[in-house]
């Protein structure tokens, strides 16, 4: 479907009531909302990407207690950071944090959105979230961040559309224009997050939503498309990568065929898929290239031969 490049100016009325709703129903007790320290905010933002709040809560507190600032994290070995991250998924995020810690501990936080986006793994959303939620953006005057949830709330409530139907610039203008004068950018973004998490989900729960009375999507009766089911994790390459990485972190002496053999316990695993997973982990900087070859082996070809041999399990 072609994205809409222009829409009518709806003004701020679509967000009427979000400030009072947020005061009464917002998730004010989330611990990362109690700080403006940019490191603590960054850890929460990277953890919350594709991981639920319930899973992140205990892990965020443990992570920032162990490494309370970039200097302490940068001084730790990457393997230690990856072990701490286990169970959250997508371990590239842990490596990004570790790399960012090294950059920031040496040169400080880069200024502005463009500067922050030079950090590993930091895109437009994360840069704007850092400026909105931490004290490095206190005087920046930056626009609110826009992730999938915030974009969905604004697109539906203001324009009666789904976010994928709109150009990013339209969403940015709509979100910025909807901020009530009673809310700072920080609290406005948190309010939008909470409306998205509690009510405006992929399949919406409109009853008692802060924007129920003014929502354009609800007003025009547009049906919400059925959400496409996510591919199963069981037996996926993600599970295979995670299993092999966990084995590598659990035993630093485990190499080559032994790592691949660990992956063979995943349903549907083959020697070829396990080697693909190992290669991907190496390419992402999560596994040292030397771990792909057994000590004394001439090349990875010997690993392939070992994996292809009949299992004695």
User: Does 231 reside within a domain?
Assistant: no
121 and 52 inside one domain: yes
Same domain membership, residue 151 and residue 284: no
Give pLDDT, residue 139: 57
Q: What are the Cα distances from residue 247, in Å, to 260, 265, 312?
A: 9, 12, 19
Within 10 angstroms of residue 209's Cβ, the number of other Cβ atoms is 21
Mean pLDDT of 138-144: 74
Please check whether residues 302 and 250 belong to one and the same domain: yes
Tell me what pLDDT residue 309 has.
Answer: 47
Indicate if 187 and 52 belong to the same structural domain.
no
**What's the rounded Cα separation, in Å, for the pair 162 and 155?**
6
Please indicate, yes or no, whether residues 56 and 129 belong to a single structural domain of this protein. yes
**Burial class, 205, CB count within 10 angstroms (exposed 0-12 / middle 13-18 / buried 19+):** exposed
Measured CA angle at 211 (ends 201, 173), to 5 deg:
85
CA distance 21 to 237: 42
Same domain for 119 and 92: yes
Alpha-carbon gap, residue 122 to 88, rounded angstroms: 18
Q: In a 3-state reduction of DSSP, which class is residue 4?
A: strand
Q: 225 lies in a domain?
A: no
CATH no. for residue 131? 1.10.340.30
49 within domain boundaries: yes
Q: What is the pLDDT of residue 36?
A: 96
Task: Report if residue 61 sits inside a domain.
Answer: yes
pLDDT for position 295: 63
Of 104, 137, 170, which residue constitutes the final position of a domain? 137
- Residues with catalytic function: 45
Q: What whole-number distance in Å separates Cα of residue 42 and Cα of residue 193?
A: 16
CA-CA distance, 267 to 1, in Å (whole number)?
37
Q: CA-CA distances (angstroms) from residue 206 to 30, 131, 217?
A: 23, 31, 11
pLDDT above 60: residue 2: no
CB 149 within 8 A of CB 69: no
CATH code at position 198: 1.10.1670.10
Q: Are residues 96 and 157 in the same domain?
A: no
Query: Is residue 56 in some structural domain?
Result: yes
pLDDT tops 80 at residue 4? no
Say what the pTM is. Answer: 0.85
Q: Please check whether residues 206 and 184 belong to one and the same domain.
A: yes
Q: What is the pLDDT of residue 293?
A: 74
What pLDDT was estimated at residue 167?
94
* 139, 155, 157, 255 from 251: Cα distances, Å: 47, 48, 51, 9
132 and 41 co-located in one domain = yes
Sign of CA dihedral 166, 210, 27, 112: positive
d(CA 229, CA 201): 14
Q: How many domains does the chain have?
A: 3
Q: Is residue 313 part of a domain?
A: no
Residue 4, domain member (yes or no): no
Shared domain for 157 and 15, answered yes or no, is yes
Model pLDDT, residue 312: 37
Structure tokens given for 229: 């089911």
Q: Looking at the structure, do residues 48 and 183 belong to the same domain, yes or no?
A: no
* pLDDT given for residue 255 in this prediction: 85
Does 283 have pLDDT greater than 80?
A: yes
Task: Tell which of 87, 121, 137 closes a domain.
Answer: 137
216 and 169 together in one domain: yes
Residue 230 lies in a domain: no
pLDDT of residue 143: 87
Domain boundary among 82, 111, 137: 137
Tell me which residue range forms the domain holding 209: 11-25+145-220
Mean pLDDT of the chain: 88
């Amino acid at each position: 479907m072609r994205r809409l490049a222009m829409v009518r100016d709806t003004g701020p009325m679509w967000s009427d009531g979000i400030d009072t709703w947020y005061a009464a129903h917002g998730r004010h007790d989330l611990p990362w909302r109690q700080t403006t320290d940019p490191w603590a905010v960054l850890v929460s933002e990277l953890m919350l990407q594709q991981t639920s709040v319930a899973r992140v809560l205990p892990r965020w507190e443990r992570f920032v207690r162990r490494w309370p600032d970039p200097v302490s994290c940068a001084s730790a070995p990457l393997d230690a950071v990856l072990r701490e991250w286990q169970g959250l998924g997508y371990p590239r995020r842990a490596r990004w944090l570790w790399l960012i810690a090294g950059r920031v501990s040496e040169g400080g936080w880069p200024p502005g959105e463009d500067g922050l986006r030079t950090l590993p793994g930091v895109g437009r959303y994360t840069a704007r979230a850092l400026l909105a939620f931490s004290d490095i953006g206190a005087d920046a005057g930056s626009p609110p961040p826009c992730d999938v949830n915030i974009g969905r709330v604004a697109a539906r409530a203001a324009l009666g559309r789904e976010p994928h139907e709109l150009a990013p610039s339209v969403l940015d203008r709509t979100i910025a224009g909807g901020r009530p004068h009673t809310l700072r950018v920080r609290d406005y973004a948190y309010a939008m997050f909470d409306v998205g998490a509690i009510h405006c989900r992929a399949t919406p729960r409109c009853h008692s939503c802060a924007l129920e009375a003014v929502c354009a999507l609800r007003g025009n009766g547009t049906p919400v498309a059925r959400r496409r089911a996510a591919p199963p994790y069981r037996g996926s390459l993600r599970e295979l990568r995670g299993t092999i990485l966990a084995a590598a972190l659990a035993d630093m002496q485990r190499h080559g065929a032994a790592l691949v053999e660990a992956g063979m316990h995943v349903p549907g695993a083959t020697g070829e898929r396990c080697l693909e997973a190992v290669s991907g982990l190496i390419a992402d900087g999560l596994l040292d290239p030397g771990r792909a070859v057994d000590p004394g082996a001439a090349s990875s070809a010997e690993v392939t031969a070992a994996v292809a041999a009949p299992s004695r399990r």
